[in-house]
Structure 1
Amino acid sequence: MPLTKEHATLPVFEQLPPHSSRDRQIAHIAEAARQIRIQDLKLVHHSGAGHIGGDFSAIDILATLYGAVLNISPETVDDPDRDRFILSKGHVAGAYYTTLAAFGFLPVEELATFLKPLSALNGHPNRNKVKGIEANTGPLGHGLPIAVGLALSAQLDVSRRRTYVLTGDGELQEGSNWEAMMAASQYELDRLTVIVDRNRLQQGATVRQTNDLDPLDAKAAAFGFAVVEVNGHDHGELYDVLSSVPFRPGKPTFVIAHTHKGHPISYMSNNVAWHHRVPSADEYQQALDELRSTPTTTGN
């Protein structure tokens, strides 16, 4: 069945006021993440394409950033002092579009056009077509260099705006990332935060089998970053870490978010087959039932 406006039923969330309690912020993020997963599942199933495994490993990070961390709103997308976010792993565009819709940057009904001919919502994000997207990404290894340029621009402007970039761990096999990290350290870009979706899987294999990154923490530290590790599905840990950067003045931050591809769906989680696969009718219904009945982790 094709994706239609009837399948775009995502509630719209707003960032809570900064003085809201931590418990309220985390509950808000958790519910947003659950609803984003439900809608993203519909997008992939009804469109017949997408990267649902990587979408689901990244959604808790996206919901935390847009729900409570980023200094940006639908009304301030052109404000020069807004925070910047770059989705370097651009193939999880479905999760990105759904997150933008969940927080009011994109009309929810527009999600029904996902991957259709001439749609603005194509397989990789395009800043010329969707308001709120900062950079065109898709070819891996491009987003982090762009983010370094944005962070350097903020430094030259003597601006307090922050730059966050989400990469995949398999993506870090691209040498352009490490060149960019050397520049970030050289220029002491402590308003830059790199978040690694560390699900340890990539297309067709594990990251270790393809080109092992370990010890990733030590490597990032050797490149001059302040390194922090979190449970990438724990909204409390994500909220505490992402809202507290920079951790060391003069150093960019490198957040290793330990995640599971396909989380929290029982048959998808940690299964490399779900890098690029579409749920069957039975699989779709099972995933929908699991998401509706079991809340995602909210943290401590």
Structure 2
Amino acid sequence: MESSSQPSSLAIAESLLSRYPTSALLLEYAETVVSVREMALLPSATVEADVIALRIAELMLALNLPFVDSKEGLVSSSESEPEASIFTADFLPTHRMFFDAVCEAMSSSRTVRVTIMGPTFLLPDFIHFRRDREKPGRNFTRELKEKLSKGEVDFAYVVFRNSPERFMKMVGSYVKSNKEFERAINETIENLEMTTSQRIFPSLQFRCVDTGYMHIPHIFDSVALLASRRSPETAVDGGWVVRDRPSLDMEKARFDRVFEGTSQTQSMASVQLRRFLESLL
């Protein structure tokens, strides 16, 4: 018998996993239900199957595509109206829309779990000033810096992916000479030293881990925003908003497992981050 309301994304994901237990099979299934453009929003086959299943489920809910589980009777279609408590996956199709939403979610959150392509919020103020003047939309890294400076978080877990090409491109967009570039990097190193000694950002814990470019989480108290990039060299071009509690808890647990599972200590991560910055000079 059909359900009178939409199943959650987690329920759909679990059903998909039971029928298509590998990443490759899940992506083959996705090709039968979504367009080529929408396939580009899904992770690659190298990503864990449970992550791919959840992304497919969110995509199907966002597009209101029908899904029927012969065992459980789960149905999602345009004929069913979601209850207020049931997750509806919001897709944010542009870089600006995604990070505007990230900033809004972060503003009231007491916890922060994010991955960043490099220590952008440790950059000197003149870089953030120029970015705000030249680029529309909210400045996630500046707002993160301000939130940490004001002590408005119980904890902040940050994973630096440390992409030299993208970090240099970002800084290079807002400097006028090689001398100014060197100044920006040296001042970032000074800010890192103050962070390491906890003279600034005492609630911040960070690790240096390359977690890839297909799954880029920004997780807060009551919402997770999940971005991806089309290649290692390109910027985020959109992402999903996850609000239902089971999926949100799963994203938090996955992030914590990576963050706490690395063999790095805070001091080891500080040394690695300093070496990364020095290599840019």
Fold shared, TM-score > 0.5 on shorter chain: no
Determine which structure has more spread, i.e. the larger CA radius of gyration. Answer: 2
TM-score, normalization by structure 1:
0.29
TM-score, normalization by structure 2:
0.30
